[in-house]
Amino acid sequence: MTRIFLIAGEASGDALGAALMAGLRQLDPEVAFFGVGGPQMAAEGLESLFPMDELSVMGIAEVLPRYSALMRRIKQCAAEVVRLSPDALITIDSPDFCLRVARRVKAQSRVRTVHYVAPTVWAWRPGRAARMAEVIDQVLALFPFEPPYMEEVGLRCDFVGHPVVAQPRASAEEALAFRDRHGIAREAPLCLALPGSRRGEVMRMAPVFGRALQTVLAQHPDLRIVLPAAPGVAALVTELTAAWPVVAPLVIDPRGDPDGAAGDKRAAFAAADLALAASGTVSLELAATDTPMVIAHDMNWLSRQIIGRMLRLPTVTLVNIVSDTFAVPEFLGANCQPGPIAAALCLLLEDPTYRAPQLEAMRLTMDRLGQGGERPGLRAARAVMDGLGAGR
């Protein structure tokens, strides 16, 4: 019987872990799971060692008051792995916590260690790959261009596909029903505004987005705006956009229907004609629904200077990176200004030849991420089982 210890520290890791567990059970119905996870992993049979929410903290200000508690959990997880001696320890994202556990485990045992989600060494801080190689035996990568960066430092790295390709999508009928339900004319252009999923990000980007959309509305007064807000910032988005000098936007909190394929967020993405979004994985969600986009992102002055010097790529938009193009326009840092952003949005609305390269790049991105192939969770499971066979 295969015994697997998994650790996930946040909601995205919980989703990855659940899909991986389902894949492992498909390959080995007798597999046994231990570790830390959230509700999705619990639904796959994991009894969490402690609530995953204890690990869902980010940023120095948030971590410092919890430092002692987190260190206790690191020691507890490592001790439990050593005690159980499973066939593999699989850590899922959350590297600050997970890699500390892996380091302690490796110091006391020969348990095989697998980390799911490669660090973004292709974007910045390349030294992270070498440090990971000290405690990790195998990496499961979401992007097809990542394995060479890991293999360069001696790590086995398997591209297993991105979860976006397996996410359910709203149908054309559900998209039309969304417009009808919210009083949006079927012929009216619809723009998604996605100013981020973290409070600081939303507070920086919402004013810029509001001014840009005011300019677009002056030229396209029939434009409707929808904001599918992340649950943690829905109230803040509602507050900040109430002052937008634009037609009242519709704010959607995905908690209203988190699981159904007809949920408002998915239907909004399918119904939209274009989007203005902060940089992040949301560009892949938009690509999955063929929604042309403009990416705009900024940070505080000090972070801008530091990160700007560390970046290794000329673009930060994942669609551009995966497709090896510059099809998606992006306005970053000092260039994140309402005027140019509005001009790019107007071009998307008015000029089909401006949209065409984006649509091609988005389709190429989805193809390269594994759309139409085996589900990423099962591919990840196959890579884990193959690694176990190679490591014995």
Q: How far is CA 85 from the centre of its chain?
A: 31
Look at residue 256 in the predicted model and tell me its pLDDT.
59
Q: 3-class SS at 360?
A: helix
How would residue 248 be classed by pLDDT, with cut points 50, 70 and 90? low
User: Cα separations (Å) of 328 from 36, 274, 368?
Assistant: 38, 12, 17
d(CA 171, CA 169): 6
Look at residue 59 in the predicted model and tell me its pLDDT.
41
Alpha-carbon Rg for the chain, nearest whole angstrom, is 22
- Chain mean pLDDT for the chain: 88
Look at residue 134 in the predicted model and tell me its pLDDT.
94
Partners of 30 in the beta sheet? none
For residue 156, pLDDT beyond 60: yes
Q: 3-class SS at 116?
A: strand
Partners of 34 in the beta sheet? 5
pLDDT in tens, 96-147: 899 999 999 999 999 999 999 998 765 556 678 889 999 999 999 999 999 9
How would residue 187 be classed by pLDDT, with cut points 50, 70 and 90? very high
Pairing between strand 88-92 and 138-141? unpaired
pLDDT in tens, 10-24: 888 999 999 999 999
Q: 3-class SS at 224?
A: strand
User: Cα separations (Å) of 107 from 96, 110, 129, 343?
Assistant: 17, 8, 19, 56
How would residue 311 be classed by pLDDT, with cut points 50, 70 and 90? low
Pairing between strand 250-252 and 138-141? unpaired
User: Cα separations (Å) of 62 from 65, 189, 204?
Assistant: 6, 40, 19
For residue 390, pLDDT beyond 90: no
Amino acid at 363: R
Total residue count of the chain as it appears in this document: 392
Specify the pTM: 0.85
Strand order in the sheet with 250-252: 250-252, 224-228, 190-194, 274-277, 293-297, 330-332
Partners of 139 in the beta sheet? 115, 157
- Listed residue (15, 30, 211, 43) closest to 117, CA to CA: 15
Amino acid at 231: P
User: Cα separations (Å) of 206 from 19, 143, 190, 194, 341?
Assistant: 34, 30, 18, 9, 13
d(CA 345, CA 88): 48
User: Cα separations (Å) of 151 from 130, 196, 387?
Assistant: 10, 33, 15
How would residue 58 be classed by pLDDT, with cut points 50, 70 and 90? very low
